[in-house]
């Protein structure tokens, strides 16, 4: 139930929504039925407002409600699986600009957080902020050794303000969930949880610093992307000190041309960077709008990007990463049957969906695009259409995939701004194939085995005890299944066989890896080593061969 102290604020929010004619959603679907009587208390909207599309009206309403609501709208713009595309497009244009708080307060927060006077921490600290947003603002400073840095400082009382507004959002989500006839499709609780998670993450600047450090490490030797260094001695939950960089916003085409930078090479690098972050590193910048992506003005022949603001980063579960990569490859090859099979195999759709019907729907979406020259095909647009079509087949996607979709839209849009004639497909396909070949190669598999072998050896001796405990429970009738004596005896035999196979296979695997390393590192005249490998392989195969006692 909504606390009484929130009721006046809830009504204020509802009044703003009605003023901007967001109440048409209430009228059509009875989303917040108890508040419909506000119609009689409010003046009719101005014709200028009434004529705007619903997305624009919602954007204006959130702007009037305040910066935290603007931030919430930005987060919602990433959830295209839950809100209409036209609304998501409008919310993506929200600008998080608020008046700065006094520089003296920023200085006091830095000193209280880092435990030293600013004069001791920095050689200089400019109290006039470079930029100000709803969560934090940024000040220019200089380290004692002369290096230029920027200091990001959380706004005073921002945690309390966000908690209060999150309580309001939760109250509104509860109302929508109760009164909306299609609440199961809108999933207001999921929307609220997504906003709450993102806002709470941004309240810890140390998390943002850790994100930046990992991205910097991933591209430490890259000529395509530069990530500023984090100064951990001057960073904590409320303060982030980062190397200051200078660049050109990626959408400032005139400035990029004036600097003599090759825009075509830059656009192709942007596409490659997206696929490397997603499929090679599984860690991607998920807020890649031009304000956060700059171009290095000092690199004209071999241009590179500069990344900023690491509060929203994305990653995928390993399985989804594999299925998504295979979907991209199938799309590049126009293999619609493969796309349909992959969606079902990934578990993104229920098993009762017919693969031939899904294949036909995918073909209907994709085939018209392939009548155009490749340079005119928008991969992001195809993905959006596919997701929209797949929803008719009960598609269920994780939020990470929607975040990825939004990032792809940003990257492709930026690429076409830099080079309108860029062929996204021909740039992306070889990069993705190379990454997949490396990631799922025999060498990579051997490396994974080497990493997991100690864990396998650790748990192998515990398996008999675990199986014995389960068998005891089953024999006592406490398990979920009931077995007779004959079935239990078979399970005991199988238990011993599994234990033997695991121990022998682990031992054989260790020998195989050791022999392979010796053979790779030893003198070439040691011809007997391949025989050792063969013997170990035969032994492991024999150990894994099923025995007649193992049959149930």
Measuring CA to CA, which residue among 139, 195, 207, 130 is closest to residue 162?
Answer: 195
Residue whose pair of structure tokens reads 């500069």 in the numeric block: 306
Q: Report the pLDDT averaged over residues 75-92.
A: 71
Q: What are phi and psi of 540, to 5 degrees?
A: -65, -40
Give the ranges where 130-204 is alpha helix by DSSP (H): 158-179, 183-186, 188-202
Residues 6+ apart with CB under 8 A from 80: 88, 384, 387, 402, 405, 406
Please tell me what DSSP assigns to residue 230.
B
- For residue 300, give every residue at least 6 positions away whose Cβ sits within 8 Å of its Cβ, in sequence order, or none: 259, 260, 261, 262
Say what the pTM is: 0.70
* 34, containing H or E segment: none
Would you state the structure tokens that stand for residue 74, as one six-digit string? 């930005």
Nearest 10 degrees: CA dihedral of 250, 253, 254, 256?
60
d(CA 371, CA 85): 25
pLDDT at 184 over 60: yes
Maximum CA pair distance of the chain?
Answer: 94
The pLDDT value given to residue 551: 42
Arithmetic mean of pLDDT over the chain: 77
Cα separation values, 123 from 145, 150, 205, 428, Å = 8, 13, 22, 46
Say what the pLDDT of residue 243 is.
97
Catalytic, out of 287, 296, 309, 320? 287
For residue 43, give the DSSP letter: P
How would you list the strands of the sheet with 305-307, edge to edge? Answer: 225-226, 305-307, 293-295, 248-249
| Mean pLDDT of the 79-83 span | 61
In percent, the amount of the chain with pLDDT more than 70 equals 73
**56 sits in which H/E element:** helix 54-65
Residue 57: pLDDT over 90: no
Per-residue DSSP letter, 53: -
pLDDT at 547: 47
**Which residues fall within 8 angstroms of residue 23, CB to CB, at 6 or more apart?**
17, 36, 38, 39
Determine the pLDDT at residue 23: 58
Tell me: pLDDT of 443 over 50. yes
Q: How many CA atoms does the CB half-sphere of 4 hold within 13 Å?
A: 0
Quote the pLDDT of residue 160. 83
- Euclidean distance between CA atoms 531 and 332, whole angstroms: 43
Q: Which residue has the higher pLDDT, 361 or 512?
A: 361
Q: Is 287 a catalytic residue?
A: yes
Q: Give the whole-angstrom CA distance, residue 365 versus residue 354.
A: 17
Check whether 254 has a pLDDT greater than 90. yes
User: Given pLDDT bands bounded at 50, 70 and 90, which one contains residue 135?
Assistant: confident
What distance in Å separates the CA atoms of residue 189 and residue 172, rounded to the nearest whole number?
A: 10
Indicate the pairing of strand 248-249 with strand 136-142: unpaired
Can you state the angle between helices 7-19 and 158-179, rounded to 10 degrees? 70
The residues that bridge with 95 in the sheet, in sequence order, are none
Average pLDDT over residues 469-484: 64
Mapping DSSP to helix (H, G, I), strand (E, B) and coil, where does residue 171 land? helix
The fraction of the chain above a pLDDT of 90, given in percent, is 23
Whether the pLDDT of residue 183 is over 70: the answer is no
Alpha carbons 157 and 109: distance in angstroms, whole number:
11
**Positive or negative CA dihedral for 35, 40, 41, 46?**
positive
Residue 197 pLDDT greater than 70, yes or no = yes
Q: Where are the beta strands (DSSP E) in 82-155?
A: 124-125, 131-132, 136-142, 148-154
In this structure, of 92-106, 329-343, 506-520, the range with the lowest mean pLDDT score is: 506-520
* DSSP at 228: P
pLDDT single digits (tens) 361-417: 888 888 887 777 666 777 777 777 777 777 677 766 555 566 677 777 778 888 888
What's the CA gap between 538 and 318, in Å, rounded? 32
Residue 80 vs residue 26, higher pLDDT: 80
pLDDT of residue 3: 59
Mean pLDDT of 516-524: 53
């Amino acid at each position: 139930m909504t606390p009484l102290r929130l009721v006046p604020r809830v009504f204020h929010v509802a009044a703003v929504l009605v003023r901007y004619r967001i109440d048409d959603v209430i009228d059509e679907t009875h989303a917040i039925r108890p508040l419909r009587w506000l119609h009689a208390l409010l003046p009719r909207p101005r014709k200028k407002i009434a004529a705007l599309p619903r997305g624009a009206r919602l954007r204006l309403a959130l702007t009037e409600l305040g910066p935290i609501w603007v931030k919430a709208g930005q987060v919602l713009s990433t959830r295209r699986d839950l809100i209409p595309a036209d609304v998501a497009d409008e919310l993506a244009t929200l600008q998080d600009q608020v008046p700065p708080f006094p520089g003296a307060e920023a200085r006091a927060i830095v000193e209280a957080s880092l435990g030293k006077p600013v004069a001791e921490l920095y050689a200089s600290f400019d109290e006039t902020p470079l930029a100000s947003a709803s969560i934090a603002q940024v000040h220019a400073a200089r380290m004692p050794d002369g290096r230029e840095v920027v200091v990001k400082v959380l706004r005073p009382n921002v945690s309390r303000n966000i908690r209060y507004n999150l309580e309001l959002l939760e109250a509104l989500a509860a109302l929508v969930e109760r009164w909306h006839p299609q609440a199961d499709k809108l999933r207001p609780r999921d929307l609220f949880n997504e906003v709450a998670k993102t806002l709470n993450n941004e309240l810890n600047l140390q998390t943002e610093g850790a994100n930046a450090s990992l991205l910097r490490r991933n591209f430490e030797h890259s000529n395509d992307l530069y990530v500023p260094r984090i100064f951990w001695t001057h960073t904590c939950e409320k303060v982030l000190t980062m190397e200051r960089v200078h660049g050109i916003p990626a959408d400032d085409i005139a400035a990029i041309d004036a600097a003599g930078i090759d825009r075509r090479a830059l656009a192709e690098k942007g596409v490659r960077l997206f696929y490397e972050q997603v499929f090679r590193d599984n860690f991607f910048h998920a807020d890649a709008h031009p304000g956060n992506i700059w171009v290095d003005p000092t690199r004209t022949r071999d241009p590179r990007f500069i990344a900023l603001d690491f509060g929203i980063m994305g990653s995928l579960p390993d399985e989804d990463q594999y299925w998504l990569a295979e979907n991209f490859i199938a799309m590049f090859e126009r293999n619609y049957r493969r796309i349909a099979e992959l969606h079902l195999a990934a578990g993104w759709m229920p098993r009762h969906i017919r693969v031939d019907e899904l294949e036909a729907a995918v073909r209907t979406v994709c085939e018209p695009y392939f009548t155009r020259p490749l340079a005119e095909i928008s991969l992001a647009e195809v993905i959006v259409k596919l997701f929209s079509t797949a929803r008719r087949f009960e598609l269920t996607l994780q939020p990470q995939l929607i975040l990825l979709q939004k990032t792809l839209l940003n990257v492709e849009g930026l690429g076409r701004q830099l080079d309108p004639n860029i062929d996204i497909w021909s740039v992306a396909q070889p990069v993705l194939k190379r990454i997949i070949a490396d990631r799922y190669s025999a060498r990579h598999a051997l490396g994974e085995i080497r990493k997991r072998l100690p864990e396998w050896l650790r748990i192998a001796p515990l398996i008999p005890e675990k199986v014995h405990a389960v068998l005891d429970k089953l024999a006592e009738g406490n398990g979920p299944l009931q077995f007779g004596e004959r079935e239990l005896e078979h399970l005991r035999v199988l238990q011993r066989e599994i234990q033997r196979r695991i121990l022998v296979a682990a031992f054989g695997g260790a020998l195989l890896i050791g022999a392979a390393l010796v053979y790779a590192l030893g003198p070439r005249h040691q011809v007997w080593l391949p025989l050792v490998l063969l013997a170990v392989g035969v032994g492991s195969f024999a150990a894994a061969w099923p025995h007649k006692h193992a049959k149930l």
